[in-house]
Structure 1
Amino acid sequence: MKNEQLKPDYIFETSWEVCNKVGGIYTVLSSRAKTLMSVYQDKLVFIGPDLKQPTANVDFCEDEGLLPTWKKAAADLGLKCRIGRWNVPGKPVAVLVDFAPFFEIKDEIYAEAWDLFRVDSLHAYGDYDEASMFSYAAGRFVEAVVSLCLTPADKVVYQAHEWMSGLGMLFLKKHMPRVATIFTTHATSIGRSICGNDKQLYAYFEGYNGDQMAQELHMVAKHSIEKQSAWHADCFTTVSRFTDRECKQLLDKPVDVVLPNGFENDFVPQGAQFTKVRKQARRCILDVASALTGSALPDDTLIVSTSGRNDYRCKGFDVFLESMAELRAQLNDIPGKQQVLALIEVPCWLEGPRADLQEALLKGKLGQAAPLPNPIITHDLHNLDEDRIVATIRHLGIENRPEDKVKVILVPCYLEGNDGIFNMPYYHLLAANDLALYPSYYEPWGYTPLESCAFHTPCVTTDLSGFGQWVDEVLGHEGTLNDGVHVIHRDDSNYFEVAHQMCETVKQLLGTPVRKRTATRNKAAALADKAQWKHFIKYYYEAYHFALSRVELSTNEN
């Protein structure tokens, strides 16, 4: 029995992105919920921030009759919350905590955090206060439930995601040591900051000291709470071996368990439905591009794209544009009619859909009129002349002239089916692609290439992404286009080489017969199938066991 894996009776997971679609952590939690729900049902509980605004928490469905004793227990400790369901596959229990009242006592909370854990909040700025008060409220909620509603025999796991959930986890561990805590960093605050400040992360990696860099980059508060959370949690985890190395260097602590990110394929259309979605999405994309550029793009236009959070350097948008500029120069000098359409689907400071483009689409005279002004972007921006992606497109001389065989278009909005131009969700547009390009410089995991593969779209990524490293491990060699995922080596000094390799990969696909393209698409989908949550959930069970074992050992010692 000693070797039997310990299992929790209740799992609480807290993140700023519960019922709050901000970035990749939302996808991690929401896509995994169904797999865990099949085992734990309503003993799996997600805790997120109650953001109040009408446009926030739109996928939260309150149920006032759900877990009333829990709500009362929280109220007895002075905490307001709403309890309901998260409208994602599995529809797990979700609790939104009202953290606003704690702002009045934040200085006392920070002082106690320093005294107890040496968390330095003195130089906090930006979103630190908001995240920390939410985290504190989430921890208090679980403290109330465990102390007043659960039995002493119940085994409880509390998993906190990112520094934004760390403070509450620390206080919960102090006041309720019987709760097994897991702290998960999806990317260290210092690693991301080094890259975001255009410093070379990899060339000098072994020389970086996390505490020193936190001072230099004005990241002391976030780094402090992240580091102390990593050290105090019963189980410290991250999403890839790549980030484990980063944690060891910058947080002075290796992780206990690596939790790779998976996905559920339920939302991927199958068979004839997929073919229908792909055909409709391609028609939509080509119509928009034709109306914008004044060029009638043929049905066999090769559609490529990149997407993700607006993190210009880390996501490799600079390299993507460089490669498209090189491809345009090469194809323009070669006889032939093959066209390439490159989309950059990245949320920017959006003003709204372009009225002139809407009018052109409404009239339906696509590719028969003159190009619209500024035919490189589908929506209006508040800061068009300051946007970094727009500036790079202009700097590279990309103008989408009728004679250009490569046209590049920025789609600067969240694609949720109501953007005013495409009016299709992101995943439908993803299905339209022939190739997706993600030349990441800093990517602890990489959901976008995994999602691309799931939608039968081969892709390019780099060996600086956790997903790229995982692909190489699964294949037993460096992934190529013929494998469905081309994994390009990237470091601090081969920027133009990466751009050139991507250009050559697109050219390779242009010269690939349709039958072989189909085989490549199927290989991409087969790789994605290996990354479903049903294969990766075992790592979470390992983390639960690790954390519960630490609590059990500590209890026995006392």
Structure 2
Amino acid sequence: WKPPGSLPVGPLPRLPTWEWPGGVGGIYTVLQTKAKITSDEWGENYFLMGPYLEQNVRTQVELIDPPHPAVRRTIDSMNAKGCKVYFGRWLIEGGPYVVLLDVGATAWSLDRWKTELWESCAIGVPWYDREANDAVLFGFLAAWFLGEFVAQCEEKPFVIGHFHEWLAGVGLILCRTRKLPVATIFTTHATLLGRYLCAGSVDFYNNLHAFNVDKEAGDRQIYHRYCMERAAVHCTHVFTTVSQITAVEAEHLLKRKPGEGLGKFSAMHEFQNLHAQSKAHIQEFVRGHFYGHLDFNLDKTLFFFIAGRYEFSNKGADIFLEALARLNYLLRVNGSQVTVVTFFIMPARTNNFNVESLKGQAVRKQLWDTANAVKEKFGKKLYESLLVGNLPDMNKMLDKEDFTMMKRAIFATQRHSFPPVCTHNMLDDSTDPVLNTIRRLGLFNSSADRVKVIFHPEFLSSTSPLLPVDYEEFVRGCHLGVFPSYYEPWGYTPAECTVMGIPSISTNLSGFGCFMEEHIADPSAYGIYILDRRFRALDDSCTQLTSFLYSFCQQSRRQRIIQRNRTERLSDLLDWKYLGRVSRRGAGSPPPCPSGPPPRPPWEPTPWGEPAAVRGRHGGWLRGAEGSCGDGRRGRGMGRSWPSPP
């Protein structure tokens, strides 16, 4: 739907500095995965706005001239007044347009703009908070662009600005204080105060109603940031969150209740079986990393992983390590032949690759070259012998030189130390929480351990000399993603696992976990394990997590294949074609513009019949799934029967 003669622009400003286009964080994932379906619908009227980061723009953006005359005039006008505004196309699927604002080029206006922010909103920003100062610069530039764009349009445009997180919130506040004709939407992916409180090991969810939010923000020296976030929440026309559990959090901490929590992800519908191909790349890395101690069968080895920002407690790395130690004990005492290699993919401060890790990959490559050389010589002699009609004499197939070369290769694999736990040299090795916990639990990758741990403190890249795979390929090659988060407003990592057909463990304190519990009667049958971290003590939650891990290790290869196929079938629940229509209704709120589009009929994803019924968006069982559950469960744990969708 497009109003005649209008130029809708939305969603617009997004989180500055590290989220765009650096490839880190949930908001980057939202906009990247959402771009294809949104671009298909809005076409050339869909723009993204973010900060200009030269090192990322060089590789991810094609700078072009704006196709719209009004946008071109807007950029020329701002550049003539001392700004640096760039226009281009983001080189991802969908190829959306991007407007890039150089905040450094307008730093000379910072004091004047901070004064205006104080006079209009009574929000003061200290000089030492560089991130907040950048947010002010970006917000004023975004509002300037929107205001100038409206002025440059010959006809009154219909403009929607969708602002993500507090760092983009200043632009929204200015749109309202300056009374710009822009319909605003604000989405919080995680409240600022919530992150700080959970990182401080407080009983967060059971005390949401009791927090003195002003005092808590002041004690943590983030009161000005909290004010920026709360002002944006109360100024916006439509307020949304990424999950229901974040909606409850926002209601107590930001004092505004969103209409409905929304999960946002894009299902890629890539159901090809790439698991074996991707797993082979990981196995090659493991062969090099564990050279000299490769006394376990890779065909009976499972790959687990956890990935995300390095928030040790919030992301559940603490409980995961404890559960791994217990799993190691269970596998050893029960004589299991299964080995678990667990990857921690969390960026931390490092100065280079670990020499021992690099040496392992070099040794592996040398062995591969030696084996290939011997294979070529062996194959040629075998061919010549068979060609003349003789059975080969195996004692003469290889000469003394070949045996010498193979012995040298074997001697090169000897190692007297354990394989390294960390692939990089850490700058804060003695205080690093992951490494200290590994030392306390004794997970040193010894030959007796059935659970091996690899800490990769850097995001994955196909150009890495150590583990040259992209994150998507790495996920496809693993068997289980483990995300036992204590604070996770939505949870894009388990969602990414789901659309790639990889089982995962989430919690009932994450938006993803709550969403799946609401829509699926038996999530574990579909490879979605929901850990109870809200109503159980920490030790009980750890025991439950250990049980999930151990039961997964007991599955046969055929059972894992069946489970992966079931996991892939949940992709429609996470598709923007489904969630985007819910999002466009503004979480149940009326359209911010009177001439907004009429509501569309609800869409239902394809039903699946086994092994348990899947609930639709309205709470009813999807048609075709009735009677498939087999145990009469309806509205499990909700205390009411579920109506059928209209």
TM-score (norm 1): 0.91
Question: Which residue number corresponds to residue 184 of structure 1?
Answer: 187
- CA gap 1:136/1:20 in 2 versus in 1, 3 angstroms: farther
Given the alignment of the two structures, is residue 210 of structure 1 paired with residue 213 of structure 2, yes or no? yes
CA contact (8 A) 1:206 1:249 kept: yes
Given the alignment of the two structures, is residue 14 of structure 1 paired with residue 17 of structure 2, yes or no? no
Alignment equivalent of 2:44, drawn from 20, 32, 42: 42
CA contact (8 A) 2:423 2:454 kept: yes
CA contact (8 A) 1:139 1:168 kept: yes
Question: Which residue number corresponds to residue 468 of structure 2?
Answer: 423
In the aligned structure 2, how far is the partner of 1:292 from the partner of 1:351? 26
What amino acid maps onto 2:102 in structure 1?
D
- CA gap 1:375/1:356 in 2 versus in 1, 3 angstroms: closer
Given the alignment of the two structures, is residue 233 of structure 1 paired with residue 236 of structure 2, yes or no? yes
Question: Which residue number corresponds to residue 86 of structure 1?
Answer: 90
Taking only the aligned residue pairs, the percentage that are identical comes to 25
In the aligned structure 1, how far is the partner of 2:21 from the partner of 2:58? 5
CA displacement 1:21-51 (0-9 Å, x = unmatched): 2311001011101111111111111011012
SS at match of 1:543: coil
Alignment equivalent of 1:527, drawn from 548, 570, 580: 570
CA contact (8 A) 1:458 1:484 kept: yes
Residue pairs, 1:137-152, within 5 angstroms: 137-149=141-153, 151-152=155-156
Question: Which residue number corresponds to residue 507 of structure 1?
Answer: 550
- Offset at residue 356 of structure 1 (A): 2.8
CA displacement 1:53-76 (0-9 Å, x = unmatched): x35663122114645334213335
Question: Which residue number corresponds to residue 446 of structure 1?
Answer: 491
Given the alignment of the two structures, is residue 549 of structure 1 paired with residue 550 of structure 2, yes or no? no
Question: Which residue number corresponds to residue 337 of structure 1?
Answer: 337
CA displacement 1:110-140 (0-9 Å, x = unmatched): 2222222232324862411122212221221
Number of residue pairs the alignment of both structures matches:
542
CA contact (8 A) 1:356 1:372 kept: no
Given the alignment of the two structures, is residue 491 of structure 1 paired with residue 534 of structure 2, yes or no? yes
- Offset at residue 540 of structure 1 (A): 2.7
What amino acid maps onto 2:568 in structure 1?
A
Residue pairs, 1:459-474, within 5 angstroms: 459-474=504-519
- CA gap 1:288/1:205 in 2 versus in 1, 3 angstroms: farther
CA contact (8 A) 1:453 1:525 kept: yes
- CA gap 1:48/1:291 in 2 versus in 1, 3 angstroms: farther
Given the alignment of the two structures, is residue 475 of structure 1 paired with residue 520 of structure 2, yes or no? yes
CA contact (8 A) 1:182 1:235 kept: yes
SS at match of 2:341: strand
SS at match of 1:134: helix
In the aligned structure 2, how far is the partner of 1:285 from the partner of 1:504? 28
- CA gap 1:134/1:405 in 2 versus in 1, 3 angstroms: same
SS at match of 2:24: coil
- CA gap 1:487/1:409 in 2 versus in 1, 3 angstroms: same
CA contact (8 A) 1:73 1:149 kept: no
Alignment equivalent of 1:399, drawn from 444, 447, 453: 444
SS at match of 1:539: helix
SS at match of 2:437: helix
- CA gap 1:21/1:149 in 2 versus in 1, 3 angstroms: farther
CA contact (8 A) 1:161 1:183 kept: yes
CA displacement 1:345-383 (0-9 Å, x = unmatched): 111113232233222222225994326566211222222
Question: Which residue number corresponds to residue 167 of structure 1?
Answer: 170
SS at match of 1:291: coil
- Offset at residue 88 of structure 1 (A): 1.3
CA contact (8 A) 1:289 1:297 kept: no
What amino acid maps onto 2:10 in structure 1?
I
- Offset at residue 331 of structure 1 (A): 1.6
Given the alignment of the two structures, is residue 58 of structure 1 paired with residue 59 of structure 2, yes or no? yes
Segment drifting more, 450-459 vs 465-474: 450-459
Segment drifting more, 289-298 vs 108-117: 289-298
CA contact (8 A) 1:196 1:314 kept: yes
What amino acid maps onto 2:569 in structure 1?
A
SS at match of 2:161: strand
In the aligned structure 2, how far is the partner of 1:261 from the partner of 1:493? 28
In the aligned structure 2, how far is the partner of 1:251 from the partner of 1:123? 25
**Moved runs in structure 1, 4+ residues, more than 4 A?**
292-297, 365-368, 371-374, 544-548, 550-553
- Offset at residue 513 of structure 1 (A): 2.4
| Unaligned segments of structure 1, at least 5 residues | 554-558
- CA gap 1:220/1:552 in 2 versus in 1, 3 angstroms: farther
Question: Which residue number corresponds to residue 556 of structure 1?
Answer: none
What amino acid maps onto 1:512 in structure 2?
Q
What amino acid maps onto 2:513 in structure 1?
G
CA contact (8 A) 1:439 1:498 kept: no
- CA gap 1:508/1:545 in 2 versus in 1, 3 angstroms: closer
Question: Which residue number corresponds to residue 99 of structure 1?
Answer: 103
Segment drifting more, 99-108 vs 189-198: 99-108
SS at match of 2:463: coil
- Offset at residue 285 of structure 1 (A): 4.1
Residue pairs, 1:45-444, within 5 angstroms: 45-52=47-54, 54=55, 58-64=59-65, 66-67=67-68, 68-122=72-126, 125-149=129-153, 151-152=155-156, 154-265=157-268, 268=270, 270-271=271-272, 274-291=274-291, 295-364=295-364, 368-370=413-415, 372=417, 375-444=420-489
CA contact (8 A) 1:438 1:449 kept: yes
